[in-house]
Amino acid sequence: MHSGRTGPVIAACLAVVLGVIVLATFGPLLAPLDPAVQNLASVNAPPSGAHWLGTDALGRDILSRIIVGARTAFVGAFVIAATSFLFGNLLGLLAGYRGGWIDAILMRWVDMMWSIPTLLVLIVFAGIIGAQYWPSVAVLVVLTVPFDLRVVRGATLEQVPRPYVEAAKTLGVPGWRIMLLHIWPNVSASAIANAFLVFADALVVLSGLSFLGLGVPPGTPDWGLMLAENVPLLFVHPVASLAPGALIVLTATSMNLIGDWLQEQLATRGER
Amino acid sequence: MSASAAVTANPQTMTSPLLSVKRLRIERRTAEGLQTLVSGVELTVQPGETIGIVGESGSGKSITTRAITGLLPPGLTATGEIRYAGRSLLGLRERDWRTVRGTELGLILQDPFTMLNPIMRCERILGESLRNGGTSWFARREEAIRRLAEVGIHDASVIDRYPFQLSGGMRQRVAIAAALARDPSLLIADEPSTALDVTTQREILALLRRIQVARGMSLILITHDLRVAFAMCDRIYVMYAGSLVEVAPADKLDAEPLHPYSNALLLSEPPVDRRVAELVAIPGSVPSPGEVANKCVFVPRCQWAQSACHQGSPLLREVMPGRLSACIRVDEIRGQMTALRRQSAEAVFRPADTTPRNQILQAHGIQKVFGGQRHPVVALDNVFLEVREGESVGLVGESGSGKTTLSRVLVGLEHATAGNVTVGGVNVADWRKLNRKDLATIRRTVQVVFQDPYSTLNPMRSIGWTLAEAITTHKPDTRQVDREVEGLLEAVGLPTSYAQRRPAALSGGMRQRVAIARALAARPRVLICDEPVSALDVSVQAQILNLLNRLRAEREIAYLFITHDLSIVRQVTERIYVMHRGRVVESGTTDDVLNHPQDPYTVRLLASAPTAERDWLDGTR
Ligand SMILES: Nc1ncnc2c1ncn2[C@@H]1O[C@H](COP(=O)(O)OP(=O)(O)OP(=O)(O)O)[C@@H](O)[C@H]1O
Ligand code: SF4
Ligand SMILES: [Mg+2]
């Protein structure tokens, strides 16, 4: 890489994201208490030795709910980022390299998705088939792919007229090889950085859905849902809503910063 | 010789030079510490004198003049002494520079676009610079029109146009008019004609010389082309890797260079008027100043280098009156350098046998129209061309004449609007309708070497990967791909260890060798070379041309050689086509066409090719 120094900010961001990944994977094992167990004898308790972040209105342990809630926050966003990365890159390369009617059709889709407000579509969708997590994730993938597609197509268009691509064409290298092995490594910097931005966005949107009651089913430990459940207690028991809210913001911001940083690092690869 | 050259034959004894630079050193601050870019530069310019600074890319010509004009980019610092008319310029504050730049020193850059504000009409551009244009709008406008006439623009309407509405040559004329607007006594021109067509280049240089003589102005001309410097300058400074290696009056340098580098540079310039047996190439490539610190800068490439040359960097010293050289062995090796020049002048080219052979590449009535119905641009108009087995064919013409478009049509990167192409017996009317077998035949018949060595290789892939792909694309069942890669690298004169490197770790010349190796992997019968050396240093160009000549003899490949440079086409081809505005205006054997051109355009093109003679620039407007 260009320089060995990563800076304390990026190190902190990486730590946050790694932490969330660990929680998302091992959450149920790490939680000190069962996140679902209600204890009506101690509701809305302030932080204490037994409940580090206190309890919510049903007496459930907030810390445990946050730890276990990392999974729904992370997994959906990850699936969205990864799937739309895959399709966005493949279709973006195709549109940029082949052009013609393939490009025209794909760009029509991009323009359409671009002009529709994401949250509105999801709300309408939830209104039709009911509030469900995975169908919402699927809809979000369809809405996000154009985002990746556009970035990759633009970067591809820049590479196509370069002599190295034309040299491969005149050599008779098959189109798929030119796209995947020649062009992609040269556009991957923006594509990878973009995946991180997509992740951050998806995390916020999914949490927003849960917040609106359109995401995970009621009762599930989930950051967005916890935020919604505990907002009425904001002045009585601030930690209950602030902690999940802060985690959403922190994770999204970290992903954004890591994306920017990666792009810088990756962009200078070919110069050495 | 002009009068000013006689006066300044011995600048050291003159009393007050207009500009004097002493011990100039330019450094760049980097993470690893100070990096020297230029050191020990000494220059003097007398009133009315034209000096040339000649050197290859990266030798430090541009930043030297930037230091003189106080325009060093951030991060670079200059030390030493720069005096203009007795006044020290180093350390001048930006406010004081404004009274020097423009009024005392005028500056013209290589790319006129960067000098002209794109959102100003020419009238504003000139008006900003004019000092005594008069106070009224009308007087200023009249003055601007007069200034444009001085630079050969007699169409007064140009004054109301924006820079992008002018041709490259016109833009450079406007830039010259702007630089001259405040009547500077010294004009610095950094490659003023390199970005222009050969025919325009000659006009701009002639214009500069005429104005310089008429105004009695001093001129510093920066160029990489020795012939241009010989034709324009009284004295020449030769720079190499950040140092001056030789200073001499132009005619003396032409007759007898006194430094091995200048000698080699002269030898590696292909002559326009005859074909030589082999061009004299300088081995290796231009080092960075850091690599040759504390020794003679030319050591790695000099055939006369001895241990003494490694001890300390030699200073410029007066070898003969008015002639300075930084070579410590110059007295011993003068005779040998002269012998080398005589040898190359006497070696004659033995023409290959020219029995007619089978045709392998043919363009038949090609027409290519770009743009929509409303603004069609005819890039190619009914072009016929053929290449036969084993022959080398040139395609010459200035930029925009359609050379590259034609080559792209020949290999299917562009689809012809009308006409067809025959490649290795396969007749192509429509590339999209070709079957797999025919396409494979075509790819095995024709390959291309592109102009820009810096983007012709995939920056993310190692050299070995690129070559291996080329090999397996043509022979998927190749067993020992690594061995084949090594064979290709050896064929183009590169160490086999380079297979592991990425393109960024290679110089331009090396990259072009890799590009040639990649094309050879298909074992083509025709190689289309599109300006394969125009982006390379002069001293490296000869290496690549010799390589191409050698490969042709070894492998019996035919070439279609595209270039704007007539001296190159003379060295590597037997037949040529001359293109102008999308049409082939003349064709025939290279000797016939270049010695007895028939078409008026060919005549003009030939007159534009730089020669060392001063009368090269005569007879232009
Ligand atoms: N803005 C800059 N910042 C840092 N280094 C620079 C800068 N401009 C030039 N250099 C370095 O200074 C050295 C000399 O460059 P310079 O542009 O003077 O060469 P040149 O002789 O004019 O070459 P050319 O024929 O390509 O114009 C090179 O090594 C170059 O990389
Ligand atoms: S000093 Fe030595 S190395 Fe340098 S040019 Fe002269 S002979 Fe060659
Ligand atoms: Mg320069």
pLDDT tens-place string over residues A56-66:
777 788 888 88
Least confident of A45-49, B84-88, B613-617: B613-617
Q: Is the pLDDT of residue B557 over 70?
A: yes
Q: Is B302 in the pocket of ligand 2 (CB under 6 A)?
A: yes
Distances B313 to A203, B281, B289, B308, B327 between C-alpha atoms, Å: 63, 24, 11, 10, 10
Please name every residue paired with B111 in a beta bridge, in sequence order, or none if there are none. Answer: none
Round to whole Å and give the CA distance between B479 and B472.
9
Does B470 contact A164 at a Cβ distance shorter than 8 Å?
no
Q: Is B309 in the pocket of ligand 2 (CB under 6 A)?
A: yes
pLDDT tens-place string over residues A194-229:
999 999 989 888 888 888 877 777 777 888 888 888
Does B455 contact A162 at a Cβ distance shorter than 8 Å?
yes
Round to whole Å and give the CA distance between B588 and B578.
9
Ligand 2: centre distance to CA B224 (Å)? 21
pLDDT level of residue B131 (50, 70, 90 thresholds): low
Closest CA–CA distance from residue B488 to any residue of chain A (Å): 15
Contact (Cβ atoms closer than 8 angstroms) between residue B288 and residue B301: no
Tell me whether B3 touches chain A (CB under 8 Å): no
A44 backbone φψ class: left, alpha, beta (φ>0; ψ -120 to 50)? left
Ligand 3: centre distance to CA B58 (Å)? 7
Q: What is the DSSP string of chain A?
A: ---S---HHHHHHHHHHHHHHHHHHHHHHH-SS-TT---TTS-SPPS-SSSTT-B-TT--BHHHHHHHHHHHHHHHHHHHHHHHHHHHHHHHHHHHHH-HHHHHHHHHHHHHHHHS-HHHHHHHHHHHH-S-HHHHHHHHHHHHHHHHHHHHHHHHHHHTTSHHHHHHHHHT--HHHIIIIIIHHHHHHHHHHHHHHHHHHHHHHHHHHHHTTSSSPTTS--HHHHHHHHGGGTTT-HHHHHHHHHHHHHHHHHHHHHHHHHHHHHHTGGG-
Least confident of A189-198, A212-221, B252-261: A212-221
Q: Is B163 in the pocket of ligand 2 (CB under 6 A)?
A: no
Query: Topology of domain A4-33+51-271, per CATH?
Result: MetI-like fold (1.10.3720)
- Relative to beta strand B392-396, strand B558-563 is parallel
Does B443 contact A186 at a Cβ distance shorter than 8 Å?
no
Q: Is the pLDDT of residue B297 over 70?
A: yes
B116 half-sphere exposure, CB direction, 13 A CA radius: 31
pLDDT of residue B164: 79
pLDDT tens-place string over residues B275-288:
887 788 888 878 88
Domains, chain B, in order of start with CATH, read 2-121+164-255 (3.40.50.300), 262-346 (no CATH), 361-608 (3.40.50.300)
Residue B440 in tokens:
């494979």
Round to whole Å and give the CA distance between B235 and B44.
10
pLDDT level of residue B333 (50, 70, 90 thresholds): very high
Give A66-117 as a 3 state SS string.
HHHHHHHHHHHHHHHHHHHHHHHHHHHHHHHHHCHHHHHHHHHHHHHHHHCC
Mutate which of B63, B244, B261 to test ligand 1's pocket (most atoms within 8 Å of Cβ)? B63
* Ligand 2 atom nearest residue B260's Cα: 5
Round to whole Å and give the CA distance between B286 and B58.
8
From the list A28, A7, A55, A41, the residue with the least C-alpha distance to A229 is A55
Share of chain A above pLDDT 70, in %: 97
Q: Give the amino acid at B86.
A: G
Average per-residue pLDDT for chain B: 85
pLDDT tens-place string over residues B433-483:
888 888 888 998 999 998 888 888 999 999 999 999 999 998 888 888 999
pLDDT of residue A184: 93
Buried b (16+ CB within 10 A) or exposed e, A95-106: bbbeeeeebeeb
Global pTM reads 0.76
From the list A272, A266, A91, the residue with the least C-alpha distance to A189 is A266
Q: How many CB atoms lie within 10 A of CB B289?
A: 22
Write out the H or E segment, with its range, that includes residue B403: helix B403-410
Task: From chain A, pick out residues whose CB is under 8 angstroms from the CB of B460.
Answer: 185-186, 269-270
Contact (Cβ atoms closer than 8 angstroms) between residue B559 and residue B524: no
Tell me which residue has tokens 């190359």: B344
Round to whole Å and give the CA distance between B337 and B325.
14
pLDDT level of residue B15 (50, 70, 90 thresholds): low
Tell me whether B501 touches chain A (CB under 8 Å): no
Contact (Cβ atoms closer than 8 angstroms) between residue A250 and residue A268: no
Q: Which residue has the higher pLDDT, A186 or B115?
A: A186
Closest CA–CA distance from residue A86 to any residue of chain B (Å): 21
> Which residue among A170, A177, A269 places its CB closest to the CB of B460?
A269
Round to whole Å and give the CA distance between B239 and B426.
52
Least confident of B128-137, B361-370, B482-491, B526-535: B128-137
pLDDT tens-place string over residues B141-178:
888 888 888 888 888 888 888 887 777 778 888 888 88
Q: Is the pLDDT of residue B12 over 80?
A: no
pLDDT tens-place string over residues B377-405:
888 999 999 999 989 999 998 877 888 88
Task: From chain B, pick out residues whose CB is under 8 angstroms from the CB of A162.
Answer: 455
Round to whole Å and give the CA distance between B475 and B303.
42
Ligand lying nearest the CA atom of residue B60: 1
Tell me whether A171 touches chain B (CB under 8 Å): yes
Sheet holding B105-108, edge to edge: B105-108, B186-190, B218-223, B50-54, B235-240, B243-249, B323-325, B317-320
Task: From chain B, pick out residues whose CB is under 8 angstroms from the CB of A164.
Answer: 455-459
pLDDT level of residue B112 (50, 70, 90 thresholds): low
Residue B567 in tokens:
């001296």
Q: How many CB atoms lie within 10 A of CB A235?
A: 6
pLDDT tens-place string over residues B402-431:
888 899 999 988 888 899 899 988 888 888
pLDDT level of residue B13 (50, 70, 90 thresholds): very low
pLDDT of residue B5: 40
Domain positions in chain A are 4-33+51-271
Contact (Cβ atoms closer than 8 angstroms) between residue B564 and residue B194: no
Distances A66 to A63, B19, B120 between C-alpha atoms, Å: 5, 75, 61
In this prediction, residues A120-147 reach a mean pLDDT of 84
Least confident of A94-98, A158-162, B80-84, B120-124: B120-124
pLDDT of residue B302: 92
Q: Is B62 in the pocket of ligand 1 (CB under 6 A)?
A: yes
Task: From chain A, pick out residues whose CB is under 8 angstroms from the CB of B409.
Answer: none
Indicate if the alpha-carbon torsion angle B104, B108, B114, B116 is positive or negative.
Answer: positive
pLDDT level of residue B6 (50, 70, 90 thresholds): very low
Three-class SS state of B584: strand
Please name every residue paired with B236 in a beta bridge, in sequence order, or none if there are none. Answer: B52, B248
Does B504 contact A272 at a Cβ distance shorter than 8 Å?
yes
Residue A192 in tokens:
């990878």
Three-class SS state of B355: coil
For B619, phi then psi, to 5°, come to 80, 15
* Ligand 1 atom nearest residue B73's Cα: 1
For B80, phi then psi, to 5°, come to 120, -145
pLDDT of residue A66: 86
Mutation to test the B interface, candidates A2, A98, A171, A178, most B Cβ within 10 Å? A171
pLDDT of residue B9: 43
Helices (H) and strands (E) in chain B, counts: 21, 22
Task: From chain B, pick out residues whose CB is under 8 angstroms from the CB of A169.
Answer: 412-413
pLDDT of residue B91: 80
Distances B390 to B11, B449, B591 between C-alpha atoms, Å: 54, 17, 18
pLDDT of residue A271: 64
Round to whole Å and give the CA distance between B533 and A268.
27
pLDDT of residue B120: 81
Least confident of A140-149, B229-238, B282-291, B328-337: B282-291
Mutate which of B294, B327, B330 to test ligand 2's pocket (most atoms within 8 Å of Cβ)? B327
**What is the 8-class DSSP label of residue B276?**
B
pLDDT level of residue B4 (50, 70, 90 thresholds): very low
In this prediction, residues B542-551 reach a mean pLDDT of 88
Contact (Cβ atoms closer than 8 angstroms) between residue B234 and residue B2: yes
Q: Is B66 in the pocket of ligand 1 (CB under 6 A)?
A: no
Write out the H or E segment, with its range, that includes residue B251: helix B250-255
Q: Which residue has the higher pLDDT, B309 or A234?
A: B309
* B239 CB-contact burial (10 Å; exposed 0-12 / middle 13-18 / buried 19+): buried
Least confident of B274-283, B335-344, B588-597: B274-283
> Which residue among A162, A170, A269 places its CB closest to the CB of B413?
A170
Q: Is the pLDDT of residue B10 over 50?
A: no
Q: Which residue has the higher pLDDT, B619 or B452?
A: B452
pLDDT of residue B614: 67
Round to whole Å and give the CA distance between A233 and A57.
8
Which value, to the nearest 10 degrees, does the dihedral of the CA atoms of residues B228, B231, B236, B237 take?
A: 0
Closest A-chain CA to B457: A164
pLDDT of residue B469: 93
Please name every residue paired with B364 in a beta bridge, in sequence order, or none if there are none. Answer: B420
Q: Give the amino acid at B559.
A: Y
pLDDT level of residue B331 (50, 70, 90 thresholds): very high
Contact (Cβ atoms closer than 8 angstroms) between residue A210 and residue A228: yes
Round to whole Å and give the CA distance between A131 and B446.
61
Q: What is the ipTM of this complex?
A: 0.77
In this prediction, residues A181-202 reach a mean pLDDT of 90
Mutate which of B309, B333, B340 to test ligand 2's pocket (most atoms within 8 Å of Cβ)? B309
Q: Give the amino acid at A7.
A: G
Round to whole Å and give the CA distance between B523 and B424.
13
Q: Is B35 in the pocket of ligand 1 (CB under 6 A)?
A: no
Buried b (16+ CB within 10 A) or exposed e, B548-580: bbebbeeeebbbbbbbbbbbbbbbbbbbbbbbb
pLDDT of residue A4: 46
Q: Is the pLDDT of residue B11 over 50?
A: no
Share of chain B above pLDDT 90, in %: 33
Round to whole Å and give the CA distance between B242 and B239.
7
Three-class SS state of B12: helix
pLDDT level of residue B113 (50, 70, 90 thresholds): low
Q: Is the pLDDT of residue B586 over 80?
A: yes
Q: Is the pLDDT of residue A143 over 50?
A: yes
> What radius of gyration, in Å, describes the C-alpha atoms of chain B?
26
